[in-house]
Amino acid sequence: MRSTRRKIYARRGKLAATAGAGALLAGLLVGTLGTSTAQADPPAPPSAGEAETMLAGLTEEAEGSSDGYDRDKFSHWIDQGDNCNTREAVLKRDGTDVETGNDCYPTSGSWNSVYDDESVSDPSDLDIDHVVPLAEAWRSGASDWTQDRRESFANDLDTAQLLAVTASTNRSKGDSDPADWLPPSDGYHCEYARIWVWVKDTYSLTVDSAEKTALTEALGTC
């Protein structure tokens, strides 16, 4: 009887050791291979009607000077927790089946660039675009902001100000406003205008006449 019990206990010990080793191996694999992240979407912009009301309420005046502008006055990318900076947080949010290493940099996943409807699998081919460019914000009122407010603007995850898009479209845009540049994908003009107006309204930035006309036309496509 004692011999039988010893065999049962020994068998249980082996099973427990095997389970423990499996859990340890799983933990090591997670640390080595990274973690999967649930896909989310950028915050939804206001409707076209709401955006039209916001646009009507913005102060219209000629664009200010770029004197004194420097991207370093809009500190980015800042820490967003979980070892992620703002760029990495947007890549995780905007991608599909994104996996990251412990440093939060994506090791796999795919992204759809809404500006040109291109599919991307290499995160190094993506830029994080400020829908309202930093220099545009500077000329529209941000030159008078505190450093903290400019940092909040440059790392804003509460509006759809930040989008993961192909580097080529982001660089073709530069610091242009909608009077001079709209996304190559015509089907995105409505949402782009809604986001642009949303951001300008949130931060009480001004619009110039040509910019307002272009935004009105883009909202008319919704």
Dihedral sign (CA 169, 191, 206, 157): negative
Pair 185, 116: CB distance under 8 Å: yes
Tokens of 189: 């003009």
What is the residue range of 184's domain?
A: 38-219
What is the pLDDT of the chain when averaged over all its residues?
87
For residues 14 and 87, membership in a common domain is answered with no
- Are both 180 and 161 inside the same structural domain? yes
Q: Are residues 25 and 64 in the same domain?
A: no
Q: What are phi and psi of 49, to 5 degrees?
A: -65, -40
Distance of CA 125 to CAs 119, 128, 174, Å?
10, 10, 16
pTM of the model: 0.83
Q: What is the pLDDT of residues 111-155, one digit of tens each?
A: 999 999 999 999 999 999 999 999 999 999 999 999 999 999 999
Same domain, residue pair 69 and 153: yes
Give the count of domains, the chain: 2
15 and 98 belong to one structural domain? no
200 and 185 in a common domain: yes
Same-domain pairing of 100 and 29 = no
Measured CA distances, 133 to 109, 112, 186, 205 (Å): 27, 21, 20, 12
Beta-strand relationship, 35-37 and 118-120: unpaired
Whether the CB-CB separation of 128 and 163 falls below 8 Å is answered with yes
Give the separation between CA 133 and CA 72, rounded to whole angstroms: 13
Q: In this predicted model, what pLDDT tens digit does every residue of 86-107 receive, in sequence order? A: 999 999 999 999 999 999 999 9
Question: Do residue 2 and residue 47 come from a single domain?
Answer: no
62 and 168 fall within a common domain? yes
Average pLDDT on 2-20 reads: 37
Handedness of CA 131, 134, 136, 140 (dihedral sign): positive
The count of other CB atoms within 10 Å of the CB of residue 77 is 16
Same domain flag for 43 and 148: yes
Do 105 and 170 lie in a common domain? Answer: yes
The predicted-structure confidence for 143-155, as pLDDT tens digits, reads as follows 999 999 999 999 9
Task: Reply yes or no on whether the pLDDT at 179 is more than 80.
Answer: yes
pLDDT value at position 39? 53
Instruction: Looking at the structure, tell me whether residues 77 and 154 fall in a common domain.
Output: yes
